[in-house]
Amino acid sequence: MKRIGILTSGGDAPGMNAAIRAVTRRAIDKGLEVFGINYGYAGLVAGDIFPLTSEDVSDRIQRGGTFLYSARYPEFANVEGQLKGIEQLKKFGIDALVVIGGDGSYHGALRLTEHGYNAIGLPGTIDNDIPFTDFTIGFDTAVSTAVDAIDKLHDTASSHERTFIVEVMGRGAGDVALWAGVAGGAQKIIVPERDFDIKEIAEEVKEGRQNGNKNMIIVLAEGVMHADDFKKELDKYGDFDSRATVLGHVQRGGSPTVKDRVLASKMGAYAVDLLLDGKGGLAVGIENNKITSHDILDLFDSKHKPDLSLYDLNESLSR
Amino acid sequence: MKRIGILTSGGDAPGMNAAIRAVTRRAIDKGLEVFGINYGYAGLVAGDIFPLTSEDVSDRIQRGGTFLYSARYPEFANVEGQLKGIEQLKKFGIDALVVIGGDGSYHGALRLTEHGYNAIGLPGTIDNDIPFTDFTIGFDTAVSTAVDAIDKLHDTASSHERTFIVEVMGRGAGDVALWAGVAGGAQKIIVPERDFDIKEIAEEVKEGRQNGNKNMIIVLAEGVMHADDFKKELDKYGDFDSRATVLGHVQRGGSPTVKDRVLASKMGAYAVDLLLDGKGGLAVGIENNKITSHDILDLFDSKHKPDLSLYDLNESLSR
Amino acid sequence: MKRIGILTSGGDAPGMNAAIRAVTRRAIDKGLEVFGINYGYAGLVAGDIFPLTSEDVSDRIQRGGTFLYSARYPEFANVEGQLKGIEQLKKFGIDALVVIGGDGSYHGALRLTEHGYNAIGLPGTIDNDIPFTDFTIGFDTAVSTAVDAIDKLHDTASSHERTFIVEVMGRGAGDVALWAGVAGGAQKIIVPERDFDIKEIAEEVKEGRQNGNKNMIIVLAEGVMHADDFKKELDKYGDFDSRATVLGHVQRGGSPTVKDRVLASKMGAYAVDLLLDGKGGLAVGIENNKITSHDILDLFDSKHKPDLSLYDLNESLSR
Amino acid sequence: MKRIGILTSGGDAPGMNAAIRAVTRRAIDKGLEVFGINYGYAGLVAGDIFPLTSEDVSDRIQRGGTFLYSARYPEFANVEGQLKGIEQLKKFGIDALVVIGGDGSYHGALRLTEHGYNAIGLPGTIDNDIPFTDFTIGFDTAVSTAVDAIDKLHDTASSHERTFIVEVMGRGAGDVALWAGVAGGAQKIIVPERDFDIKEIAEEVKEGRQNGNKNMIIVLAEGVMHADDFKKELDKYGDFDSRATVLGHVQRGGSPTVKDRVLASKMGAYAVDLLLDGKGGLAVGIENNKITSHDILDLFDSKHKPDLSLYDLNESLSR
């Protein structure tokens, strides 16, 4: 193996640049050449490929987004798409790849490995919804952005004794809501993994008000319901001077946190080491504070499990 | 004059605490006693009034919101409401007041002055929509929060070549949109003070794409249209991979910026000086970088004028 | 057990307030009464003790510092000091304690347990220098503050092609330097746990310059050497346009990060659960992403081990 | 006039990139071609000059530092240096220049104008020490960074009842100290423009302690004295548990504030308009909230005057 490629795929996440930097620098340090591939699999097929130097990834670790751009490219699920991609790899003399993205992008990595081009997947997504990893690259930053917003809403909630319903990202998984809820001191967290009863919540809010709780925040995972709809349901049970707020795409951006930068750096270096060991078709994770890897195939049979102890913790701390 | 009261009214704004601190400290420094009034005019009428010491306002300058709480209280427009308030002022021996809030709260200040209780108004609102002042307390912080969000959206817009429509606060005035648009490097600013043609904007976005502009942000004042509706209109003219984001109440909170803290400190001290000069019924402003005051009556006949040169500047810089 | 006390001791750390909140809320949720003790062991001995309600810890999770104040009180190492403290516990009817602080404060917790008052220690220190825990409360925030400063120095280092020597906290342990170095993209990390040769470093900086590396940051743990001294040594080997910067006490303050808030919340709740189980003389930790506890006695025989894999990782990524 | 050049000179300041963007975009919008000159006057003389497109300045407005790099180049004070620079201007067909930097860089601008190449100076420096402008580009960001640090020190000062002496930038002028002191809620501000008596300050600190003031911050302009020396002097009059902190170069970096971005954008556009009017040898400023210009020659005879009303305000508000 002499040349590796690197691409980012799916929704962008803070820390992707830190991961690209780590892959590039580690590979160069080990004597490899590195090529950047723009726009994910679409760019691979189109041959939008260029050499990456150590200097190119300087001053990148702190930047949000991905300077290799990202795109969704469903055509790569077809063999024709894959073969076109492989043609480009041949053309540029690239022997192996690192792919950073959500689990959608892992399919491509697996297919390329099957075609004889070892590919390693790194979990780059703010949703934290990937199996066999406690944390994904970008998750901590997204939660931090959400909590920063919740802190600001606390100021105005306190001043006016309002109730805020804050919709955070997380289509399939409640991780962002769970972490942002605990860290934001939410009165209540609503996630797809747990049932809820709006009437009961209304009772709790009333009770909280009576106990002198002046700043009530309900954190809602977008996968459950829209904040506006939740507000309408809640308002049926009383006047809580409630406001719905959707944090939205802001959660995708921003300079990555320390946790995300270090995670991305460790994972990026580890991916290169796996390739140097002749391995492919693996997804890198962090489990119990250790960098690990698993067959991508195993991921497809598994489901990510959020840390629901946070839900129970919050129930206990919001009283 | 021996005792002054202070209250915050209307929507809360970052810097209100800095203003309360300044009023309190200046008054104490000049030998006065100071009383805080909770929940604006509602608390005045209800007698929710307590002495404020220098220590009480320590560690407050950097906090968002208002620790005196705020509330809307339309009943204070009636004479009965006002007389109840005056009864409380008598009871607590308060001779004069400083009122921090939007122009709604200035009516109360004027009425109290007419009843013989000098009251000075400070412009505390994120909207910047008050006449005879270039800036209101809280405006710079709200714009900073909006620009911080726009910076984050830029990251993801760049990574995906998307167009973001960002709805910022400002029901009647385009100030937040104008400042956030220029500081955020917006492709386009949409404000109530200027006409716009969605078809033309669609053309500009297309053109921008062709010129290699990868991160397109359209900043929209909430008074013009909802972001979702704007998106629908825009999408009629092409596929811009557009996303609508509503920043919402987050803009109200957060630690005040340097500009807001200094402005609030200057204005708070000046309000006390006016009261010591035996004046009332005045609204404090900053005009051409100098602290000024005007009859509240004059404000009611006037209209705030946003700095529309920023609109033209942005047109020129977004090419 | 009906009543528990809580105190913070030693140097303050961001997240202490989040831990106090968690202890208080969890205990109240479990039917206990909670008393706050101001100024650590000094306040315990002096009887500076007061009841804490759920409302008292509202709006605290996001605040830096400790609202129970902290103080060093070496007199508590003596039996007389301890007996005076126990007298106060009797007076207030307090059966057990949670102590948040560095390992100095664990001695007091152990002594109180030996006297029949169960006490649990939580690791609250920015230095991360406590055995049997991967992370202490406050560490992630301190590193984030350091990295935020390093990011700013990068801007000016890039503009002028300067070399910055950044001294970060960590008297005995290199943890802050290791994490801040990797997350800040440092050219070099200098920690007490690893030897270094200034001449070699000078060579590396020269080489980096030749390779086009424009922003060079050397992160130095304060326990190794002062930044000014390091600069003088470095300058002997060439003109690197170097600047020494000491980040200092700023690293102790600020709103805690998500990671610190969640860690403090989990640990605080766990400490109450341990007390409810009748346990004392234990120190809480997080190991391999799980909340754990160990005999305080065992901690005194052990030494904290920094994650030195970060050192090697950085060597590889800074090329 | 068909082609203009742009360079940044002297110490870098946040907002320089926003100014470069504004100059470039405005000039292109007016039909001009724009050339960037790296490393200030050194790069001009060396011919380190390249065309700037609208796209080149995209995604720059929010970045600290200057992507054109900066350097000090005293040789440009000599006629030979100037003639070499002019040779390069001829070679690249550049007719006029915009120079962003401190007043040192204005000398070069004046000389080039005298040689027939109109040059306009923009005040880019964090020190705010330039005559005929109320604010320089970068000043608000530097103060914001200082105040952010002071806020953090407040947390730890409160927790431990310490006194912090915070040294901020400002060699010749007290502006940073004045603004940071007022916005940071300092107990005392020490600037070169006002005398001070350390014994009196010690008395005030003692008094403050007795009045329950728990978090004492003394903000010291670096031009007056080093923080360590101040601490030593202060400690002669009592034990204040004082700590000295030097904020240092961190104040130079970071993403520019809204105020700095808008100021830089307005000034950059205005500089181009002046060149289009055939003017040169002028320095742009903002006075009483209006963009203005003055002969550079007049600046050399004048001295910047800090807003000392802030000093008196702080004396009144820190009681």
Q: Encode pLDDT of B173-194 as tens digits.
A: 999 999 999 999 999 999 999 9
Burial of C48 (0-12, 13-18, 19+ CB in 10 A): middle
Q: Encode pLDDT of A241-252 as tens digits.
A: 899 999 999 999
Q: Encode pLDDT of B277-288 as tens digits.
A: 999 999 999 999
How many whole angstroms separate alpha carbon C100 and alpha carbon C121?
Answer: 6
Examine residue C145 and state whether it is found in any structural domain, yes or no: yes
Examine residue D310 and state whether it is found in any structural domain, yes or no: no
Is D104 known to sit in a ligand binding site?
yes
pLDDT for position A246: 95
Same-domain check for residues B9 and B120: yes
- Residue corresponding to tokens 């909590």: A147
Q: Encode pLDDT of A85-132 as tens digits.
A: 999 999 999 999 999 998 889 999 999 999 999 999 999 999 999 999
Same-domain check for residues B117 and B246: no
pLDDT for position A64: 96
Question: Percent of chain A having pLDDT more than 90?
Answer: 89
Burial of D256 (0-12, 13-18, 19+ CB in 10 A): buried
How many whole angstroms separate alpha carbon C192 and alpha carbon B39?
Answer: 55
- Could you give the C-alpha distances from B191 to B201, B222, D301, in angstroms and in order? 14, 8, 44
Contact criterion met (CB below 8 Å) for C204 and C188: yes
**Which residues face D244 on adjacent strands?**
D165
pLDDT exceeds 90 at position C156: no
CA atoms within 13 A on the CB side of D147: 27
**D96-101 vs D188-190, strand pairing mode:** unpaired
How many whole angstroms separate alpha carbon C213 and alpha carbon C209?
Answer: 5
pLDDT for position D20: 98
Show the tokens assigned to A154. Answer: 């606390």
CA distance D189 to chain C (A): 19
**DSSP-assigned states of every residue in A138-185:** THHHHHHHHHHHHHHHHHHHHHHT-EEEEEES-SS--HHHHHHHHHHT
pLDDT exceeds 90 at position C283: yes
Same-domain check for residues D179 and D130: no
Same-domain check for residues D5 and D122: yes
Query: Shortest CB distance from C64 goes to which of D152, D250, D252?
Result: D152
- Residue A87 phi/psi, 5° resolution? -55, -45
- Tell me, yes or no, if the pTM score tops 0.95: yes
Examine residue B305 and state whether it is found in any structural domain, yes or no: no
Contacts of D147 in chain B (CB under 8 A): 258, 261
Mutate to test the interface with A, among C258, C291, C316 (most CBs of A within 10 A): C258
How many whole angstroms separate alpha carbon B193 and alpha carbon B191?
Answer: 5
Same-domain check for residues A62 and A150: no
pLDDT for position B72: 86
Last residue of a domain, one of D194, D222, D251: D251
- Contact flag D253-C155 (C-beta cutoff 8 Å): yes
Show the tokens assigned to D51. Answer: 């065309």
Given the residues D12, D29, D56, D127, select the one marked as catalytic: D127
Average pLDDT over residues B195-205: 94
Show the tokens assigned to A223. Answer: 């996968």
pLDDT for position B293: 98
Same-domain check for residues A62 and A109: yes
What is the total count of domains within chain D? 2
Same-domain check for residues C128 and C88: yes
pLDDT exceeds 80 at position B212: no
Question: Percent of chain B having pLDDT more than 70?
Answer: 100
Examine residue B318 and state whether it is found in any structural domain, yes or no: no
Nearest of C194, C110, C12 to residue D157 by alpha carbon: C12
Contacts of C207 in chain A (CB under 8 A): none
How many whole angstroms separate alpha carbon A107 and alpha carbon A130?
Answer: 13
Examine residue D308 and state whether it is found in any structural domain, yes or no: no
Give the DSSP H or E segment for A219.
strand A216-221
How many whole angstroms separate alpha carbon C190 and alpha carbon C195?
Answer: 8
Domain that holds residue D80: 1-136+255-299
pLDDT for position A104: 84
pLDDT for position B103: 80
Indicate which CATH number applies to the domain containing D155: 3.40.50.460
Contacts of B152 in chain A (CB under 8 A): 64, 145, 249-250, 252-254
- Non-local (6+) Cβ contacts of A293 within 8 A are A120, A270, A274, A279, A282, A283, A284, A285
Contact criterion met (CB below 8 Å) for D19 and D122: yes
Query: Shortest CB distance from A29 goes to which of C266, C309, C319?
Result: C319
pLDDT for position C241: 87
At residue C197 the predicted structure's pLDDT band, cuts being 50, 70 and 90, is: very high
Examine residue A142 and state whether it is found in any structural domain, yes or no: yes
Strands in A119-123's sheet, in edge-to-edge order, are A49-52, A33-37, A3-9, A96-101, A119-123, A282-287, A290-295
| Other beta carbons within 10 Å of B19 | 33
Same-domain check for residues D101 and D143: no
Nearest of A109, A155, A132 to residue A9 by alpha carbon: A109
In the 8-state DSSP scheme, what is residue D30?
T
Q: Encode pLDDT of C136-150 as tens digits.
A: 999 999 999 999 999
pLDDT exceeds 90 at position D96: yes
Nearest of C262, C11, C250 to residue C128 by alpha carbon: C11
- Residue A224 phi/psi, 5° resolution? -85, -45
Query: Shortest CB distance from B159 goes to which of A12, A154, A245?
Result: A12
Q: Encode pLDDT of D146-183 as tens digits.
A: 999 999 999 888 888 889 999 999 888 999 999 999 99
Average pLDDT over residues C56-73: 94
Q: What is the ipTM of this complex?
A: 0.96
pLDDT for position D157: 85
Mutate to test the interface with A, among C30, C317, C318 (most CBs of A within 10 A): C317
Nearest of C54, C59, C63 to residue C16 by alpha carbon: C63
- Contact flag A160-B250 (C-beta cutoff 8 Å): no
Contacts of B213 in chain D (CB under 8 A): 54-55, 58
pLDDT for position B207: 87
pLDDT for position B297: 96
CA distance C59 to chain A (A): 8
Same-domain check for residues D93 and D155: no
Contact criterion met (CB below 8 Å) for B153 and A12: no
Examine residue A286 and state whether it is found in any structural domain, yes or no: yes
Same-domain check for residues B261 and B119: yes
At residue D215 the predicted structure's pLDDT band, cuts being 50, 70 and 90, is: confident
Indicate which CATH number applies to the domain containing D47: 3.40.50.450
How many whole angstroms separate alpha carbon A59 and alpha carbon C215?
Answer: 8
- Non-local (6+) Cβ contacts of B313 within 8 A are B182, D265, D266, D269
Contact criterion met (CB below 8 Å) for B215 and B166: no
**Mean pLDDT for chain C?**
95
Average pLDDT over residues C244-272: 97
Q: Encode pLDDT of A150-205 as tens digits.
A: 999 998 888 888 899 999 998 889 999 999 999 999 999 999 999 999 999 999 98
Query: Shortest CB distance from D183 goes to which of B215, B262, B318?
Result: B262
SS3 of chain A: helix, strand, coil, percent, to 5? 45, 20, 35
Lowest mean pLDDT among B60-74, B123-137, D210-224: D210-224
**Mean pLDDT for chain B?**
95
**Which residues face D198 on adjacent strands?**
none
How many whole angstroms separate alpha carbon B207 and alpha carbon B202?
Answer: 9
Is residue B307 part of the annotated active site? The answer reads no
Average pLDDT over residues B241-251: 94
- Non-local (6+) Cβ contacts of D55 within 8 A are B211, B212, B213
Same-domain check for residues C116 and C263: yes
pLDDT for position A170: 87
pLDDT for position D90: 98
Average pLDDT over residues C213-231: 92
Q: Encode pLDDT of B122-141 as tens digits.
A: 999 999 999 999 999 999 99
- The contact set of C with D (CB < 8 A) is 8, 11-12, 14, 16, 63-66, 69-71, 145, 149, 151-156, 158-161, 164, 243, 245-250, 252-254
How many whole angstroms separate alpha carbon C201 and alpha carbon C187?
Answer: 9
Alpha helices (H) along D244-308: 258-276, 296-300
Show the tokens assigned to A249. Answer: 């795409």
Examine residue A267 and state whether it is found in any structural domain, yes or no: yes
End-to-end CA distance of chain B: 58
Same-domain check for residues A120 and A5: yes
